[in-house]
């Protein structure tokens, strides 16, 4: 699984991801302590608002950036967003009011919404071989999981010798380190694209490609299942362990560690597993496990099957969290393969941005739903509702994502007239008058009707997915 690291460019990008994640982990801890300093007992409201602002930034900013990412030099753009995030981290220790936190969080998360999809869309160009790219996806998942486990421990060790304000300096160093790793990598620039149409057309291009591709519609439904089950883990683990079972902060960390361990175990297995099983089968299986694990917790809590004290409850709790973590990884880790298959390289930034925005829109719904139901109706009811939502989402995914899902699809083009950059290929066979210039060139031209088979993606020549394809 480590073979992608032999590629110098990917090795630098992976290093950038790791150090940026370490900085982000320190930021999470420091923000919680800052919120408590500013608001005391109302710190939860401050953090909740900051989390909502983060999701709004992700949903709103990513498609806009994805629309114009093909016009920007990737390396300079990624470095600039890292520097913005570092500058915000440097400002955070000096805030004195919650509104200042909200403003800075919005700026920082807007920069993250610009950085992450562009970064993700670069990896398929650096690693064009699907096997190597699959291994890179697993490495990325391991990095995320290790960050979730290691960052709290690192923060705790640092807090033993420094104040929490110094954690923001660690965050800044993480983002500066990421910028340094990116600036030393040789990144392929996106291909020049001639997208006729206005700003609205460019901003919505990624989402239009996404919503017209059946396998990506299935991915969107699976995103709903991931958010439903994941929100219960993230929002209500502390409520269950501390409130219901009377555990400690260390117990919360141990239960979340089981979730991370499940995710890492699957990330290790996926490269070989995906050589034997289809991506669709693996991801749907992960989705069903998410739904089942969440509903099992509802049954345990509703039936009084969980012991009242934590030590006796752990044999029931830890396996469920391990399975939920494994299922989460089975769905999320291969998703990049679907995005890579579903767009031309020049459209990938927009499609990755669409995935980033739409998946976080699911979280924007699931987070408050998990919190409100957990506090208002009880944890058993919350697990039941979110588990049912996850199961419904997976069933919808199985229906939207066709069985087989071939790469090459036989389809018919009707007659079409338009203008765009092109070279003479199977789509473009027409006469010239001499003024059109060297290829690629743009001029009005017409396509006659044609039936053929090739790897199909939504683009200028394929505005709709063929029925039955």
Q: What is the pairing mode between strands 408-413 and 416-422?
A: unpaired
Return the structure tokens found at 2.
């480590």
Of all residues in the chain, what percent are helix, strand and coil, respectively (each to 5)? 75, 5, 20
Say if 17 falls within a structural domain. Answer: yes
Q: Which residue has the higher pLDDT, 14 or 67?
A: 14
> Would you state the pLDDT for residue 435?
58
> Would you state the pLDDT for residue 381?
92
Q: Do residues 136 and 285 share a domain?
A: no
Say if 325 falls within a structural domain. Answer: yes
Q: Report whether pLDDT(123) > 70.
A: yes
Task: Compute the Cα dihedral for 392, 289, 294, 306 and give only its sign.
Answer: positive
Nearest alpha carbon to residue 63 among 310, 352, 442: 352
> Would you state the pLDDT for residue 175?
93
What is the average pLDDT across 104-112?
90
Q: Please name the residue ranges forming H helices in 69-97.
A: 74-91
Say if 466 falls within a structural domain. Answer: no
Give the end of a domain, one of 159, 190, 221: 190
Nearest alpha carbon to residue 138 among 283, 327, 268, 14: 268
Q: What is the pLDDT of residues 406-447, one digit of tens each?
A: 666 665 666 666 666 666 766 666 667 565 667 676 667 666
Angle between helices 74-91 and 8-39 (to 10 degrees): 20
Q: Are 392 and 227 in contact (CB under 8 A)?
A: no
What is the average pLDDT across 171-190?
88
Q: Do residues 259 and 356 share a domain?
A: yes
Q: Which residue has the higher pLDDT, 371 or 149?
A: 371
CA distance 226 to 220: 10
Backbone angles phi, psi at 40, to 5 degrees: 60, -120
Q: Do residues 213 and 86 share a domain?
A: no
Q: Which residue has the higher pLDDT, 156 or 116?
A: 116
> Would you state the pLDDT for residue 452?
57
Q: Do residues 297 and 398 share a domain?
A: yes
Nearest alpha carbon to residue 375 among 29, 15, 45, 39: 45
CATH code of the domain covering residue 246: 1.20.1250.20
Q: Do residues 324 and 356 share a domain?
A: yes
Q: Do residues 178 and 257 share a domain?
A: no
- Category of 468 on φ-ψ map: left (φ > 0), alpha (ψ -120 to 50) or beta: left
- A 10 A CB-CB count for 248 gives 11
Q: Report residue 306's pLDDT band, with 50, 70 and 90 as the boundaries.
A: low
What is the average pLDDT across 199-207?
73
Query: Averaging pLDDT over each range in 148-157, 181-190, 193-202, which range is the top one?
Result: 181-190
Which residues, listed in sequence order, are joined to residue 226 by a DSSP beta bridge?
A: none
Range of the domain at 251: 208-403+448-457
Backbone angles phi, psi at 456, to 5 degrees: -105, 130
Q: Do residues 155 and 230 share a domain?
A: no
Q: Do residues 152 and 226 share a domain?
A: no
> Would you state the pLDDT for residue 285?
96
Q: Report whether pLDDT(243) > 70.
A: yes
Q: What is the pLDDT of residues 38-77, one digit of tens each?
A: 777 666 567 667 777 888 888 888 777 766 666 778 888 8
> Would you state the pLDDT for residue 75?
87
Largest CA distance in the chain: 84
For all residues of the chain together, what is the average pLDDT?
Answer: 81
What is the average pLDDT across 284-298?
95
Give the end of a domain, one of 138, 159, 190: 190
CA quadruple 165, 257, 362, 92: dihedral, nearest 10: 0
Q: Do residues 296 and 159 share a domain?
A: no
Q: Are 203 and 63 in contact (CB under 8 A)?
A: yes
Say if 421 falls within a structural domain. Answer: no
Say if 258 falls within a structural domain. Answer: yes
Which residues, listed in sequence order, are joined to residue 419 by a DSSP beta bridge?
A: 444
Give the end of a domain, one of 190, 221, 250: 190
Q: Do residues 285 and 163 share a domain?
A: no
Say if 425 falls within a structural domain. Answer: no
- Triad 312, 317, 319: Cα angle to 5°: 120
Q: What is the pLDDT of residues 309-356, one digit of tens each?
A: 667 677 778 899 999 999 999 999 888 888 888 887 777 778 888 888
Say if 340 falls within a structural domain. Answer: yes
Q: Report whether pLDDT(200) > 70.
A: no
Q: Report whether pLDDT(185) > 90.
A: no
Q: Tokens 């500066």 label which residue?
A: 176
Q: Do residues 167 and 104 share a domain?
A: yes
Return the structure tokens found at 115.
């950085």
Query: Averaging pLDDT over each range in 64-73, 240-249, 317-326, 371-380, which range is the top one?
Result: 317-326
Query: Averaging pLDDT over each range in 51-60, 94-103, 146-155, 390-399, which range is the top one?
Result: 390-399
- Category of 378 on φ-ψ map: left (φ > 0), alpha (ψ -120 to 50) or beta: left
CA distance 420 to 400: 32
Which residues, listed in sequence order, are joined to residue 452 by a DSSP beta bridge?
A: 411
> Would you state the pLDDT for residue 44?
58
Say if 431 falls within a structural domain. Answer: no
Q: Tokens 């990506």 label which residue?
A: 216
State which H helix or E strand residue 455 sits in: strand 450-455
Give every CB contact of residue 40 below 8 A, 6+ residues apart in sequence: none
What is the average pLDDT across 228-238?
85
Q: Do residues 179 and 275 share a domain?
A: no
> Would you state the pLDDT for residue 295?
95
Domains in the chain: how many in total? 2
CA distance 159 to 167: 8
């Amino acid at each position: 699984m480590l073979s992608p690291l032999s590629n110098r460019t990917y090795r630098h990008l992976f290093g950038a991801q790791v150090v940026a994640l370490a900085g982000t982990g320190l930021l999470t801890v420091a923000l919680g302590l800052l919120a408590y300093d500013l608001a005391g007992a109302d710190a939860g409201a401050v953090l909740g608002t900051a989390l909502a602002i983060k999701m709004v930034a992700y949903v709103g900013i990513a498609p806009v950036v994805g629309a114009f990412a093909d016009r920007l030099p990737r390396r300079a753009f990624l470095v600039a967003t890292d520097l913005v995030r570092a500058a915000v981290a440097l400002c955070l220790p000096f805030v004195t009011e919650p509104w200042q936190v909200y403003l800075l969080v919005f700026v920082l998360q807007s920069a993250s919404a610009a950085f992450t999809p562009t970064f993700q869309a670069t990896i398929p160009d650096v690693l064009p071989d699907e096997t190597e790219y699959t291994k890179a996806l697993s490495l990325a998942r391991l990095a995320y999981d290790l960050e979730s486990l290691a960052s709290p421990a690192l923060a705790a060790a640092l807090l033993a010798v420094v104040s929490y304000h110094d954690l923001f300096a660690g965050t800044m160093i993480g983002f500066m380190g990421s910028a340094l790793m990116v600036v030393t990598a040789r990144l392929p620039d996106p291909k020049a694209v001639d997208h006729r149409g206005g700003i609205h057309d460019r901003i919505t291009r990624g989402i239009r490609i996404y919503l017209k591709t059946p396998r990506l519609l299935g991915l969107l439904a699976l995103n709903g299942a991931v958010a439903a089950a994941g929100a219960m883990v993230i929002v209500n683990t502390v409520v269950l362990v501390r409130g219901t079972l009377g555990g400690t902060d260390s117990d919360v960390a141990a239960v979340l560690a089981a979730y991370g361990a499940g995710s890492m175990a699957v990330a290790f297995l996926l490269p070989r597993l995906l050589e034997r099983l289809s991506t669709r089968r693996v991801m749907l299986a992960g989705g069903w496990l998410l739904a089942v694990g969440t509903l099992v917790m509802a049954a345990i809590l509703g039936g009084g099957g969980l012991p009242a004290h934590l030590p006796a409850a752990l044999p029931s709790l830890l396996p469920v969290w391990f399975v939920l973590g494994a299922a989460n990884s089975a769905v999320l880790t291969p998703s990049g393969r679907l995005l890579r298959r579903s767009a031309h390289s020049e459209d990938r930034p927009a499609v990755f941005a669409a995935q980033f925005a739409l998946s976080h829109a699911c979280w924007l719904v699931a987070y408050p739903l998990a919190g409100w139901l957990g506090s208002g109706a009880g944890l058993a009811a919350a697990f039941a509702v979110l588990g049912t939502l996850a199961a419904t989402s997976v069933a919808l995914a199985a229906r939207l994502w066709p069985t087989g899902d071939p790469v090459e699809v036989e389809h018919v083009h009707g007659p079409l007239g338009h203008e765009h950059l092109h070279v003479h290929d199977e789509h473009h066979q027409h006469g010239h008058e001499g003024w059109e210039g060297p290829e690629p060139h743009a001029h009005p031209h017409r396509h006659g009707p044609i039936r053929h088979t090739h790897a199909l993606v939504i683009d200028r020549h394929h505005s709709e997915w063929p029925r039955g394809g």
